[in-house]
Amino acid sequence: MRTWIESANAADCDFPLQNLPFGVFSHGGDAPRCCSAIGDRIIDLAALEEAGVLDAGAPVFGQSALNAFMALGPAAWTSVRARLTALFRRGGDPAIRESLALKSKALVPMTEARMHLPFQVADYTDFYSSKQHAYNVGVMFRGPENALPPNWLHLPVGYNGRASSVVVSGTEFRRPLGQLKGPDEGMPRFGPSERFDFEVEVGAVVGTPSKFGEVLSVSEADAMIFGYVLLNDWSARDIQAWEYMPLGPFQGKATATTISPWVVTKAALEPFRTPAPAREKALLPYLNDAGSRHYDINLEARLKPENAAEATVLSSTNTQYLYFSAAQQLAHHTSSGCPMRTGDLLGSGTISGPEKSEWGSLVELSWGGKEPVRLASGGDRCFLEDGDTLTLLGWCEGDGYRIGFGECAGKVLPALPIR
Closest CA to 38 of 65, 3, 69: 3
How crowded is the C-beta side of 10, counted as CA atoms within 13 Å? 11
383 Cβ partners below 8 Å, 6+ apart? Answer: 194, 195, 196, 197, 237, 362, 363, 366, 369
* Residues near 5 by beta carbon (within 8 Å), at least 6 away in sequence: 17, 38, 39, 41, 88, 107
CB atoms within 10 A of CB 321: 21
The verdict on whether 133 is a catalytic residue reads: yes
HEC assignment per residue over the chain: CCECCHHHHCCCCCCCCCCCCEEEEEECCCCCEEEEEECCEEEEHHHHHHHCCCCCCCCCCCCCCCHHHHHCCHHHHHHHHHHHHHHHECCCCCCCCCCHHHHHHHEEEHHHEEEECCCCCCCEEEECCEHHHHHHHHHHHHCHHHCCCCCCCCCCCEEECCHHHEEECCCEEECCEEEECCCCCCCCEEEECCCEECCEEEEEEECCCCCCCCCCCHHHHHHHEEEEEEEEECEEHHHHHHHCCCCCCCHHHCCCEEECCCEEEHHHHHHHEECCCCCCCCCCCCCCCCCCCEECCEEEEEEECCCCCCCEEEEEEEHHHECCCHHHHHHHHHCCCCCCCCCCEEECCCCCCCCHHHCCCHHHHCCCCCCCEECCCCCEECCCCCCCEEEEEEEEECCCCEEEEEEEEEEEECCCCCC
Which one from 27, 116, 133, 333 is the annotated catalytic residue?
Answer: 133
Active site residues: 133
